[in-house]
Amino acid sequence: MARPSVVLIDDHPVVLAGMRTWFRRAGIAVLATGGTPDVAWRSPGAAADVVVLDPHPAGRAEPGRADLDRLVAGGRRVVVHTTHHDEGAGARCCRVGGAVVAKARGEAHLVAAVLAAAGHRPGPAPSRSPALPRPRLTARERDVLLTWLRCESKRTTATLCHVSPRTVEGYIDRVRLRYAEVGRPAPTKASLVARALQDGLLTLDDL
């Protein structure tokens, strides 16, 4: 299966550089980057599975709704990456299997949103793919995993789950092992977020 690909649109070079690092680390191909949506319509950006877009460029009073609408109308899968709360953008993105991710959420959430969008297959009667074997997690493993995915650290997870940080490490290691055993390795936190989304253990709204 080909690895997913993205085109990145943001007018802050530092943000673009950070996203390139995150996606390459997650095995996601960055086909093109730029400060305007034009990069998504010309090669090689036109071939990207997912468009990551900040529709609120600096120096403009109004967000680039027309740019987002054009991408959605063209059937592109868009993940809006923004510092602004924008319900309208969320509704637009969801129509084509995308999402809105706040920049404050960081690497794991953005990577997971892109992986989820890249796996979206529009069409009638969508269903869970039988091609994804699901590991058998115990109730406690699932509880610790989901708490950690929603938290900033394993120390906080340990406090919330009333266990030691070392015990949290043990549970996470076992979850990783179970995913590896069914052929779906998840070596990073971002990949575990993606697995949890794929298996319906949580939604992007939970993160």
pTM over 0.85: no
Last residue of a domain, one of 65, 87, 118: 118
The pLDDT tens digits along the chain (207 residues) read: 568 899 999 988 889 999 999 998 888 999 999 988 999 999 999 999 999 998 776 545 444 578 888 888 888 889 888 876 554 554 555 454 567 787 877 788 888 888 888 875 443 333 344 457 889 999 999 999 999 988 878 999 999 999 999 999 999 999 999 999 988 888 888 788 878 877 888 776 666
> In what helix (H) or strand (E) does residue 30 lie, and over which residues does it extend?
strand 29-34
DSSP E strand stretches across 75-198: 77-82, 99-102
15 and 110 within one domain = yes
**The CATH number of the domain where 190 resides is what?**
1.10.10
Domain count, the chain: 2
User: 154 and 64 in one domain?
Assistant: no
144 lies in the same domain as 114: no
For 195, the domain range is 139-206
Q: Give every strand in the sheet of 99-102, ordered side by side.
A: 29-34, 5-9, 50-53, 77-82, 99-102
In a domain, 53, yes or no: yes
Residue (of 94, 98, 85) closest to 40 by Cα position:
98
